[in-house]
Amino acid sequence: MENLDLIKMVTEKAEKWLTPAYDAETQAEVKRMLENEDKTELIECFYKDLEFGTGGLRGIMGVGSNRMNIYTVGAATQGLSNYLNKNFTELEQISVCIGHDCRNNSRLFAEISANIFSANGIKVYLFDDMRPTPEMSFAIRHLGCQSGIILTASHNPKEYNGYKAYWDDGAQVLAPHDKGIIDEVNKIASAADIKFEGNPALIQIIGEDVDSVYLDKVHSISIDPEVIKRQKDLSIVFTPIHGTGMMLVPRALKQWGFENVHCVEEQMVKSGDFPTVISPNPENAEALTLAINLAKKIDADIVMATDPDADRVGMACKDDKGEWVLINGNQTCLIFLYYIIKNRKAMGKMKDTDFIVKTIVTTELIKVVADKNNIEMRDCYTGFKWIAREIRLSEGKQQYIGGGEESYGFLAEDFVRDKDAVSACTLLAEICAWAKDQGKTLYDVLMEIYVEYGFSKETTVNVVKPGKSGADEIKAMMENFRTCPPKEIGGSKVVLAKDYKFLKATDGEGNVTDIDMPETSNALQYFTEDGTKISVRPSGTEPKIKFYIEVKGEMGCAKCYPNANAEAEEKVKAVRASLGI
């Protein structure tokens, strides 16, 4: 599209926001953008509508169709209301659950959504304050709702907010419902089509009544309560990074029996500005600085952190030299599944029908652990809605015992259908108690896994490309990889390439086979002779293209880790050079 055509398109779109259906403040902001000679801001705010991606609706807060505001949230809620009313005609009363995190405007968006749902005749269960995303997922199932939403932008920077839509199984919306909802949202021509006037009689406030039931269910997943009794003084440092984790994680740890929990006081302050961190992302070392400082001060055993909506968990522990090190998302998932499998077997709880799930970009070492222990492991797409799909498909036939992804998400239970940092934190504490009971640390456990099952190093490279021009660049990069696939990566021949857009796999000899997945996805994977795995995909929620690199190595003993890691780092450098990143 030529620049003049683009400006004409966004101008016409923006002018529709100058009607009485939009509040005076919004109209004034739109006028300012229209009158500005530099049309960059106008284009960024109106060149497209926010769409449901792998994480629902997510964007920078502000005025415009490509921004998070009461009108884009309102259109999403009106569209979802229309879709629910069409799909559940047989029900006397359709109901939804609404949760939100600590972000600026999250409560406002939640209350406006509650009004819109109720104006459409839908009963609303609205949490009285911020709550973790997994509890909202649980509440949908517990309360028998047909849908639910949570207002959160997860671990994104403070400028962002988001809107995740869930279905009656407590999982994020999948096809055909996601497309159906989008179709209904697209029918909303303007704010005049949104029913903002709520019906208070249909809005019920919930809180402790759900909290206590959810926490009891979380406690039920403990595998070895006796080890916790022996190690109840395990020294734990926890930070919610200003978010919803503060509502339930300390309480859950206490319920499990841990008596020595230290919360980072500066970050136990609810704030959408996240004043103590650059970014509220437990994947980033900087976000754990205050927690690690406290851990050093009190000589703690483990540091755990949750993101603003408490679905992701980050962790740090002491290495063999007593230095604090971060455990990455792949290692996190690996440790959880290793413990669950090993201890379920030891306690006679494992069944032949048990299965675990990981995403296609998560470490292949999990597959090695599963195979050696004769446990079924399934691969699925990135995003916990796909893990939830596997649980749903096997409900009543097989038992899900755990699953996760490299981006610090883990789910140890099936009564929630999204990643759950509340249960992950408590299970992590149990793992540390189990290790300490044997005179070991979490780091020792990780080293033992590497020695027994092989070493791997995983690195994620995010190439950020903001705005419309960035979106075009990302599209071109994917197209280039697709049409000119690499023959070798890091000096090793590519022996298998997978293209999930066409669901085709091509081996080193050029033989093509079908990939069995529920739908297509804009993702590519390359596997090399030396065991390296490369995955490439655009993010569904952020303006970036992601490269997931996994290289293999050998570790003869726990002390061999530094050498194995150094060799792997050299391999990663060679891979990045091959890919031009």
pLDDT digits (tens, 9 = 90+) for 402-426: 999 999 999 999 999 999 999 999 9
**Fold category of 455-579 in CATH:** TATA-Binding Protein (3.30.310)
The torsion of the CA quartet 62, 67, 69, 72, rounded to 10 degrees, works out to 160
Least confident stretch, 464-468, 539-543, 574-578: 539-543
Banded pLDDT at 539 (limits 50, 70, 90): confident
Asked if 41 and 33 touch (Cβ cutoff 8 Å), the reply is: yes
Structure token pair of residue 149: 């939403």
CA distance 157 to 237: 24
Sign of CA dihedral 352, 356, 360, 362: negative
pLDDT in tens, 49-106: 887 654 568 899 999 999 999 999 999 999 999 999 999 999 999 999 999 999 999 9
The structural architecture, per CATH, of the domain 48-206 is: 3-Layer(aba) Sandwich (3.40)
pLDDT in tens, 199-233: 999 999 999 999 999 999 999 999 999 999 999 99
3-state secondary structure of 132: coil
CA distance 371 to 364: 11
Query: Which residue pairs from 86-93 have beta carbons closer than 8 angstroms and sit at least 24 positions apart in sequence?
Result: 86/184, 87/146, 87/177, 87/180, 88/146, 91/146, 93/123
Instruction: Say which residues have a Cβ less than 8 Å from residue 454's Cβ, sequence separation at least 6.
Output: 365, 368, 552, 553, 554, 555
Q: What is the DSSP string of 431-478?
A: HHHHHHHTT--HHHHHHHHHHHH-EEEEEEEEEE--HHHHHHHHHHHH
CA distance 299 to 421: 24
The CATH homologous superfamily of the domain defined by 214-222+229-453:
Alpha-D-Glucose-1,6-Bisphosphate, subunit A, domain 3 (3.40.120.10)
Residue 244 has pLDDT above 90, yes or no: yes
Assign 3-state DSSP to the chain and report helix, strand, coil percentages, each to 5: 40, 20, 35
Q: Where are the beta strands (DSSP E) in 275-312?
A: 302-306
Percentage with pLDDT > 90 across the chain: 92
Give pLDDT, residue 492: 96
Segment 1-26 mean pLDDT: 90
Asked if 119 and 199 touch (Cβ cutoff 8 Å), the reply is: yes
Residue 540 has pLDDT above 80, yes or no: no
Angle at 294 between CA 291 and CA 300, to 5 degrees: 95
Q: 508-537: b or e for each residue (b if 16 or more CB lie within 10 Å)?
A: eeeeeeeeebeeebebbbbbbeebbbbbbb
Asked if 61 and 68 touch (Cβ cutoff 8 Å), the reply is: yes
Asked if 259 and 233 touch (Cβ cutoff 8 Å), the reply is: yes
Asked if 542 and 470 touch (Cβ cutoff 8 Å), the reply is: no
- Backbone phi, then psi, for 34, in 5-degree steps? -65, -35
Give pLDDT, residue 542: 73
- Backbone phi, then psi, for 354, in 5-degree steps? -70, 145
Structure token pair of residue 238: 């926890």
Helical (H) or strand (E) element with 256: helix 245-256
Segment 171-198 mean pLDDT: 91
3-state secondary structure of 504: strand
CA distance 135 to 166: 12
Q: Where are the beta strands (DSSP E) in 241-383?
A: 261-263, 302-306, 313-318, 324-327, 354-359, 376-380
Angle at 151 between CA 145 and CA 154, to 5 degrees: 120
pLDDT in tens, 518-533: 999 999 999 999 999 9
3-state secondary structure of 566: helix
Helical (H) or strand (E) element with 393: helix 384-394
Within 10 Å of residue 208's Cβ, how many Cβ atoms?
Answer: 8
Fold equal for 48-206 and 214-222+229-453: yes
Within 10 Å of residue 439's Cβ, how many Cβ atoms?
Answer: 7
What's the start-to-end Cα distance of the chain, in Å? 29
Banded pLDDT at 1 (limits 50, 70, 90): very low
Active site residue ranges: 154
Segment 416-445 mean pLDDT: 98
* Strand-strand pairing, 147-151 and 302-306: unpaired
Residue type, 366: I
Question: Domain boundaries in the chain?
Answer: 1-47, 48-206, 214-222+229-453, 455-579
Residue 308 has pLDDT above 60, yes or no: yes
